[in-house]
Amino acid sequence: MPAEPLFTPIALVAIDDSRNIRRRYEIHVSLDLFGVYVVDTRWGRIGGHTQKKRHSFADENGARRHVAATLSRRSSATRRIGTAYRRVAVSPLG
């Protein structure tokens, strides 16, 4: 399976209305002016306050590993929070 393009934004949601779970998680990768890979993540309750974190990487492989580790953690949501994340259309990071 070919690798997903690194600069494609990723948006995930975990929704279970019966348990009042409504979470969103976004990952955006970009290059800054100095050629450093920047991975921005946002997460929180849908419709509520979100948290943000930014990581910088000198090379593409470091950024890819970070994105893969983040997605791996999201894939364990069923075990941790009782509902799985699914991909959705991406909204602009703001």
Q: Is the pLDDT of residue 93 over 70?
A: no
Which of residues 69 and 2 earns the better pLDDT score? 69
Helix, coil or strand: residue 25? strand
Q: For position 2, what pLDDT does the model report?
A: 47
CA distance 7 to 75: 20
Q: Which residues lie across from 41 on neighbouring strands?
A: 27, 53
Q: DSSP letter string over 34-63? A: TS-EEEEEEEEETTS-EEEEEEEESSHHHH
Q: For position 27, what pLDDT does the model report?
A: 95
| Mean pLDDT in residue range 11-19 | 94
pLDDT band at 1 (very low <50, low <70, confident <90, very high): very low
CA distance 2 to 65: 15
- pLDDT tens track for 21-56: 999 999 999 999 999 999 999 999 999 999 999 999
